[in-house]
Amino acid sequence: MMGRHSTVLAFALILGSAAAASAQVARVSGIVKDDLGQPIKGATIRAENPDAPLGSITGATDDKGRFAIIGLARGEWMFTAEAPGFQAQYTELNIVRTGTPLPPLVFSLSKAIVKPPAGVEGVTAKELQQQLTSAETLYKQQKYEDAVTVYRAILRSAPSMAIVNLQIGAAYRSTKDYDKAIAAYSELLKVEPDNAQAQVGLAMAHLEKGDTQAAEQTLTRAAERPASSRDVFYNLAEIKVARNQPAEAMKWYQKAADTDASWGKPLYKLGTMAMSRGDNAAAAKAMNQVIAVDPTSPEAAQARAALERLK
């Protein structure tokens, strides 16, 4: 996975000089879906080319399964799409020209084949897969209590499947049973302390319960961990905004943007904050960055509208 230094370097390559970037590097965008055609949020996209100056560049999908990767040199690139619970998919793309639009990449990920954890007796892979499918169906039907019952049955038969606590927590948040949601996320974090989805879910459960301080403390601790993610930084910034701490919010929005240079959402927030304090030059710069790095996102459309107002 690309380090922060490489991410910042890729960002500089694409934004430092628009003309030079367009002549030297390319941008690839696309979408990641499941085998039913539903977008997959938070999937990881990795582009690799050992002969390129930046040999490995990583991005992630947004709420609609979309991604964009910038800073790609000419040559043969291998793209890998991965998401928890799904089988990884690979595709190759030969970039022969830069500065011109490239066809979008479309990944359709199949569900991973579930194997019972080692040492678990009385449950087969087929039974475990059936239980997971049943729980997922109930969850999508908003039958949250029934879904939780099945997820808890899975945990009893396969205790190492702690990841299902994510869905248990989400189900309890949907029914506004925030204490049980907090307990579910906390159980997963005991096993996977760097799980960003559990960190954000725990903070949001605290926030929805009305405990802003606990939400802030949860994400502050998570942000200090070496393996922290863009979503932790972004949501911490949102809490700082809610607590009327704009300077702190800007710091964390910027950190989210630095972590994923192809994500326009935190850049758009920085632009709106600049507009609110009357700094039109900083606002215009941020909005143009949104359009440059994430041109097909909802934030890019909003950024274009904001630039019109700034004229």
Q: What is the number of other CB atoms lying within 10 angstroms of the CB of residue 6? A: 18
Whole-number pLDDT of residue 284: 95
Candidate from 31-35, 47-51, 100-104, 138-142 with smallest mean pLDDT:
100-104
pLDDT band at 122 (very low <50, low <70, confident <90, very high): low
pLDDT at 99: 67
pLDDT at 183: 96
Per residue in 250-307, pLDDT (tens digit) is 999 999 998 888 888 999 999 999 999 999 999 999 999 999 988 888 899 999 999 9
Query: What are the structural domains, with CATH classification, of the chain?
Result: 4-109 (2.60.40.10), 125-310 (1.25.40.10)
Note the pLDDT of residue 105: 92
Q: What is the pLDDT of residues 157-216, one digit of tens each?
A: 888 888 889 999 999 999 999 999 999 999 999 988 888 888 889 999 998 999 999 999
pLDDT in the model for residue 215: 92
Answer whether residue 118 shows pLDDT above 90.
no
Residues 6+ apart with CB under 8 A from 7: 58, 258, 259, 260, 261
Q: 205 near 238, Cβ under 8 Å?
A: no
230 token code pair: 């863009």
